[in-house]
Chains A and B, each alone.
Chain A
Amino acid sequence: MLTFMASDSEEDACNERTSLMSAESPVPRSCQEGRQGPTDGEDAAQWGSQGREEVQEEDPDRYVCSGVPGRLPGLEEELTLKYGAKHVIMLFVPVTLCMVVVVATIKSVRFYTEKNGQLIYTPFTEDTPSVGQRLLNSVLNTLIMLSVIVVMTIFLVVLYKYRCYKFIHGWLIMSSLMLLFLFTYIYLGEVLKTYNVAMDYPTLFLVVWNFGAVGMVCIHWKGPLVLQQAYLIMISALMALVFIKYLPEWSAWVILGAISVYDLMAVLCPKGPLRMLVETAQERNEPIFPALIYSSAMVWTVGMAKPDPSSQGALQLPYDPEMEEDSCDSLGEPSYPEVLEHPLPGSPGEELEEEEERGVKLGLGDFIFYSVLVGKAAATGSGDWNTTLACFVAILIGLAWAHTPVSSGLRLQGWHVPSATHTPCHSEPRVSQGSGGDPITLSPSSGIGRLLAVFKKALPALPISIAFGLIFYFSTDNLVRPFMDTLASHQLHI
């Protein structure tokens, strides 16, 4: 919360900067519209705000497009770096909050650690007599899960290609309805059971109804920024809890690893579904799926040479749900549809209106997988906190590393997902990734997270955090834990 407030105040304080920066953003955006990345709103955003300036430097055409002559590349880079650090922090807070909610629930509510069946996407059981059999089953589970994800993603690409926007939109709405009402009801029920609190049905109905209805409004339409952020964090936490409950032990770890690899491939391979999505969006010059994106700032429209009072003001962006998580299972986690309203008056006058996007975006898939990793670490039988904390720190390190603004030697390339905020003058509703009643639609973006530019290549950031998290989990659980337990029991401090 503090971070959010701080970013708001900073925005107030930096109006000049805003207007300076905004001078470049819009035009490049229109030039690069095609380059918008899809789901990766997550990536995009994060990347978008940082990278845009640098990208502009890189490409002379783009620079020309930017329409801001005389803007020093150095200044841009410095601004990028300054905002880069701030953006990293703006991501630390929500990611930390989501993980805290998940870990707190896992440690206190027994329900989410009880084995109560498995998803149909992981049909092989892990209650096998031999280790080899168990390993084989978990690998098979992973293959099935991953192929479902790939199929859903391709289905999404196909839907998008054939412009079935309404279908996707409806699907997303159904999904978010289910998540906001059903899962919340179950969660509330379990928490009340754990703490032995009596609640009557009318009160419960009122609470769940209000929570769900406000959530739908905030997510799919407009709402106060902080409320939207809070809802997205809660939704990610709920989704992560479902994953933690229904994925068997070994399968969960193998799936996490496989998702990271898949993300890497989907982003980098020429025929990857994500890439195709991006290219399609580029061809159509459309912003890509609103998807489920967590955004930490608002979009300002600042008029430049031709002030247009009607267009000024801050816009609150509704969050676009990302399909990623659809992946859920039998319960059909839906992805949330995203409809962005376009407040900008469309038009030629647009050139003079600059949008400045401040803040960073991260896809909800990232939140979910980070929380699954930390939650699984917390759920292990030994009740060890060191492992949980080590995974938490590993994920934050991966986040920071992936978001560190690159030094002048590195270029940012890759996809530019404009903030889900704008796309001036598009009358069509944004296409949301639909997960539809279907089970898993894991948007590729889920993994994609943000893009990191390293040596002229775009890399997804999720794999870095997950890789660190996995390494830290296994090494802490097997090497550090016994050692620290012995030290603590004898009160030896090293």
Chain B
Amino acid sequence: MTAAVFFGCAFIAFGPALALYIFTIATDPLRIIFLIVGKANDGLKTINPDEPAPSMRLLAYVSGLGFGIMSGVFSFVNTLSDSLGPGTVGIHGDSPYFFLNSAFMTQVIILLHMFWGIIFFDGCEKKNWYPLLAVILTHLLVSALTFLNPQYEVSLVSAYMITVLTGIRAFFVAGGSRRSLKRYLLCQDKNFLLYSQRSR
């Protein structure tokens, strides 16, 4: 398989996660630590007065992303390294879209983990058990759908639909609203503009 397949699949699977990492996490050392260690112990929570303490939402986002990246990497990296070697995909009658499907599925799983992390943490904070149940059930659902592979249409399309819905739910749970989204899209969000100025 060609280098094009390797790079293409690698970026499909890990592109969004990498972008999220570069733009939101790499700038702050504390967040990198949360990502890797996966939790905040008391020492890390006490921050200097210059910066606001990392909120629970930030922690939820970062740890969700961390879990997603680890899960995606673990499930896909061996396949990726095989794609660099010689071979013909589907020579025995399997689907020739093995790599593409794996890549898209991995991407979806990473995004889902991130959204689930946000919703789950929020549910725990507010002692609201329904979101927790929903997260667990959707996770089981998405995994069960992959049992239908290699009928990619069903599993992949439904996984993407679930991702979009979960993403919208996570957006509202994290405090977004239609108004804030509109302000952001029209570049009228002063806080965001100031923030992005500052980080430069």
Contacts and interface: CB of A to CB of B under 8 A. Distances in A.
Of the candidates A92, A490, A491, A494, the one having the most CB atoms from chain B within 10 angstroms of its own CB is A491
B143 interface: yes
Contacts of A81: 43-44, 46-48
A492 B37 contact: no
B76 to A, nearest CB: 8
A384 B78 contact: yes
B149 interface: yes
A389 B32 contact: no
Interface in B46-87: 46-51, 70-71, 73-79, 81
A450 to B, nearest CB: 15
Contacts of A310: none
Nearest to B76: A488
Contacts of A385: 77-78, 81
A269 interface: no
Contact of A85 (B44, B101, B150): B44
A484 B72 CA distance: 11
B196 interface: no
A105 to B, nearest CB: 16
Contacts of B71: 494
Interface string A462-494: 000000000000000000100011011011111
Contact of A397 (B37, B106, B149): B37
Contacts of A77: 46
B48 A78 contact: yes
A348 to B, nearest CB: 35
Contacts of B81: 383, 385
Contacts of A404: 33, 41, 43-44
B149 A490 contact: yes
For this complex, into which size category does the number of interface residues on chain A fall? 35 or more
Contacts of B43: 81, 84, 404-407
A71 interface: no
A492 B36 contact: no
B138 interface: no
B75 A85 contact: no
Nearest to A81: B46
A386 B50 CA distance: 39
A407 B47 contact: no
A85 B30 contact: yes
Given A488-B78, A494-B75, 20 more contacts: A81-B48, A82-B48, A82-B51, A85-B29, A85-B30, A86-B29, A89-B32, A389-B77, A393-B36, A404-B41, A405-B43, A405-B44, A487-B75, A491-B98, A491-B146, A491-B149, A491-B150, A492-B149, A493-B142, A493-B143
Interface of B: 26, 29-30, 32-33, 36-37, 41-44, 46-51, 70-71, 73-79, 81, 98, 101-102, 105-106, 109, 142-143, 146-147, 149-150
5 contacts: A81-B44, A386-B77, A393-B36, A400-B33, A407-B43
Closest 9 CB pairs of A and B: A82-B48, A89-B29, A491-B149, A407-B43, A78-B48, A385-B77, A407-B42, A85-B29, A493-B146
